Amino acid sequence: ATSREVASSLRESDARLERRWRAFVANGRDARARGELVRAFARANGVGREARPRLWFAWSGAEAAKRASDTTYDEYLRAAELSDDAAAATTRDAQIEMDLARTFPEHARFAETGDALPALRRVLRATATSAAAGYVQGMNYLGGFLLLVMETEEDAFWTLHVVVNVMFAGYFTEGLKSLRADLCTLDHRFRCVSSEAHAKLESMGLAVKYFTARWLMCALIGCASVPIVLRVWDLIFVDADREPRETIMRSSLAILALQAPWIRAAEDMSSSVECIREAGSTIDNIEAYLQRVSLLREMHFPSKPAPAPAVTPTSRKRTSRYEPPPTPARAAMTPVANTLYASLVSFFSPTPSKTAVSTPRASGLAPKRLWSFEETQATPKRTRVEADESGSHAQSSMFAKSKTPLKSPARSPLLAAR
């Protein structure tokens, strides 16, 4: 589908959502209570446009955090301006200014003359003061997105505060430990739902975790169309008290699963990378996408396989040699004596890959080396016959047609001295 067709389909989906939402709340149902029926409706459809800012503020826990906090938004702003560490504050402000220019430059409100840039600057400075790790790149997209949705600048700040410090805890900390762990989990789950596409990427030295860090860190902001992002954030906030990080991983996995046929059909590495990067912008049926996310909610993924043990390289070319079990006597040997002992035992022992015939032998002697492997079981044992008085040899039934007298097999030189 073309970009115009995708946009038209998304607009129609938004119109259907508004009609369904009005019918859902027509009887005075309180969606703020977030009962199971409200959760089910939001997971399958989303939330109405007019109710979205109020419900997000309540569902995320930002409203409760604002009431419980001893510090107001204005006090966070003053603390950011009067920082004791002037060098750290200068570095923070310089990074924020760099990221402001990258935040939705095509949007009119974030242009140089727009009203959103000063508000975003204040929100990011206050968030850097309230967050344990300070300012981290990626917060600018979250803050800008929330400024466009929430009703006030203060509501955007408190929602961002909860997202960074509670819902996505670990994504915006030094080392990004939780983010890296979730990326590995996403890659493993993609292998489970689409093994062929995963194998295709793996054969090229690629993995989805190399391209989806922003998908998780920014919850698909800037990685998918706006209607898709709004529905995904509806899912995140309606389950904010349960599993917000699982929700964003399922939403990302659903996009990858829908894009798997094109990944399998990609001809080269650049085409495969393009399939992943453009995956979010190719969704034209929001209802089918949300249904896929719901199916992944019910799917049980096996635990990640344990890494294979490291194989110690060996210089021996013969890998089928019989190795006797370790004993205290062998442990006391020098390396040279140990090697000679293993070689002698290997020479006088049957090859492990063949079926050895157990034969009685005198104690203290090395086992006889089999001189025939393939025919040991199939060929009957040959018996030695004695000559009669006339000089003729008795013929067994096996050699009835043979004209040649039977001879016993030559004994091995190794056994001649016995």
pLDDT block averages, 10 residues each, the chain of length 418: 77 92 89 92 94 95 94 93 84 92 91 89 93 88 95 95 91 86 94 93 91 93 92 95 92 94 90 90 89 89 58 47 55 60 57 44 40 43 48 47 51 52
Q: Determine the pLDDT at residue 345.
A: 54
CA–CA gap between residue 73 and residue 64 (Å, rounded):
14
Give residue 151's pLDDT. 92
C-alpha–C-alpha distance, residues 266 and 253, integer Å: 19
pLDDT at 327: 60
CA distance 80 to 89: 8
At residue 342, the pLDDT reads 61
Specify the 3-state DSSP secondary structure of 387: strand
Q: Give the CA count within 13 Å in the CB-facing half-sphere of 15.
A: 6
The Cα 404–Cα 320 span in angstroms is 40
pLDDT value at position 94?
93
Provide the Cα torsion 343, 345, 347, 353; round to 10°.
-110
Burial label for 414, CB within 10 Å (0-12, 13-18, 19+), is exposed
Token digits for 239? 């389950």
User: Which residue is it, tokens 């998780």?
Assistant: 216
